[in-house]
Amino acid sequence: MSQKKMLLVVCDGLSDRPVKQFDMKTPIQLARKPAMDALARHGVSGMMDVIGPGVIPGSDTAHLALFGFDPYKVYTGRGPIEAAGAGIELKPGDVAFRCNFATANKNLVVTDRRAGRIKAGTADLAKSLTGMKIDGVEVIFKEGSEHRGVLVLRGDDLDYRVSDVDPHQDGKILESRALVPGAKKTADALNIFVKRSAEVLSDHPVNRERVKNHLPPANIILPRGAGSTKDLQPLSERYGIKCAAVAGVTLVKGICRMVGMDVPNVPGATGGLDTDYKAKAEAAIRLLDSNDFVFVNVKAGDIASHDGDFRMKVGVVENIDMMLGLILKDIHEDVVLALTCDHSTPVSVKEHSADPVPLAISGGGARVDGVREFDEVSAASGALGRMRGMDLMPVMLGMADRAKKFGA
């Protein structure tokens, strides 16, 4: 049997709960979605607990599970994923943090956690911080999108189990504490870095210019989400497949890079509501030529949910359906094509929830189970039953005739 190609489309937070004002329907149930329904009709459906029953997945832990890793074993914190997303190559022992450029007064009281959502100049600010040395610990700092940045501490005997400096709201910055006895050196270096960042940034030309223009200066760095990279076996080794990803969000890109995927830049794939769905479809089809497994993430559903906007979310479903239609029209029927979500983000909750997500797989060795629609209820009557996110890759590999035999 020849091995088949695989395509996984993850609709970030698209899964939802029924809403009373909309006749107890979910946005997916109310949307027109001929492509999604065709996929369900020609394949096999099921429900998925991405992490486990009753566990609310983060986007980071969810994607690790969807790529076949046990997040309880490999996930330490968000820092390393952001670092990978920013293109920093972490070494074993490095401790990485997500950071905000923020505005604080002279007493280190934060007055704006996002420094007025600063857009320009952060690359210059980052350059003034990176390369710093603190008691033998090397500092690597890189700007991210808008007010975001990544800090990496590199040196001997560091430990990621330290508390955040970021107060997560306006107010005095926190002193990082060691959460285990061996992490004191890391907490100390982190506290010194934050204070030095305030000294270095306060007088930086970018900030002098901002103050002149009555904009809040980006005069302090607030680190949080410490983590160390765990040795994630690349998917090429783990499953013997060449992989590529189409994603707009830095976090998702970071995870894809950490598991060894090629993540080319797709112009127009923004990770926002304005993302270019057609460009994403075309990139996916193109990447499938030279890869065994292509992963596509669409963030827009999650964004509409965080805004609590049911009608906007229906629109997102229909946009994704259009993208899926373009893909379905162009790919070979042998391609194992899976459609699912990384977690539910009900518009009624405006946050991730623990509700399981729908899953449909067609093509390759997928069975056909008679489910005729793709949504949170129809999928539950499918032949896949209720499964865990960690099992998705093995199941897809099985349908693509790429699974391994155990025994004789």
Binding site for a second copy (CB under 8 A): 1, 17-18, 24, 26, 47, 51-62, 71-72, 75, 78, 225, 251, 346, 348-355, 365, 367-370, 376-377, 380-388, 391, 393-399, 401, 403-408
Q: Pick the closest to residue 156 from 105, 68, 230, 95 (CA basis).
A: 95
Closer to a second copy by Cβ: residue 18 or 116: 18
Shortest Å distance, C-beta 6 to a second copy: 12
Q: For a second copy, which is the closer residue by CB, 216 or 382?
A: 382
- Rounded CA-CA distance 386/384 in Å is 6
Strands 43-49 and 6-11: unpaired
* Beta carbons of 246 and 294 less than 8 angstroms apart: yes
Query: What minimum distance in Å lies between the beta carbon of 379 and a second copy?
Result: 8
243-246 and 220-227 beta bridge pairing: unpaired
- Complex with a second copy: residue 123 or 368, whichever CB lies closer: 368
Nearest distance, CB of residue 136 and a second copy, angstroms: 30
Residue 293, classed as helix, strand or coil, is strand
The strand pair at 95-104 and 109-112 is best described as antiparallel
- Helical residues (DSSP H) of 219-335, grouped into ranges: 235-239, 250-258, 277-290, 300-306, 310-330
Q: Which is nearer to a second copy, 291 or 353 (CB)?
A: 353
Q: Residue 132 and residue 141: Cα distance in Å, rounded?
A: 9
For residues 127 and 350, which CB has a smaller minimum distance to a second copy in the complex? 350
Token digits of residue 291: 């890869």
Report in angstroms how near the CB of residue 66 gets to a second copy at its nearest. 12
Closest approach, Cβ 13 to a second copy, in A, equals: 13
104 or 379: whose CB is closer to a second copy?
379
Select 277 or 374, whichever has its Cβ closest to a second copy.
374
The minimum distance between CB 93 and a second copy, in angstroms, equals 22
**Residue 95 has which token pair?**
């401790």
Least Å distance between CB 397 and a second copy? Answer: 6
Cα 264 to Cα 222, 226, 243, 286, 300: the distances in Å are 30, 27, 11, 11, 20
Type of residue at 318: E
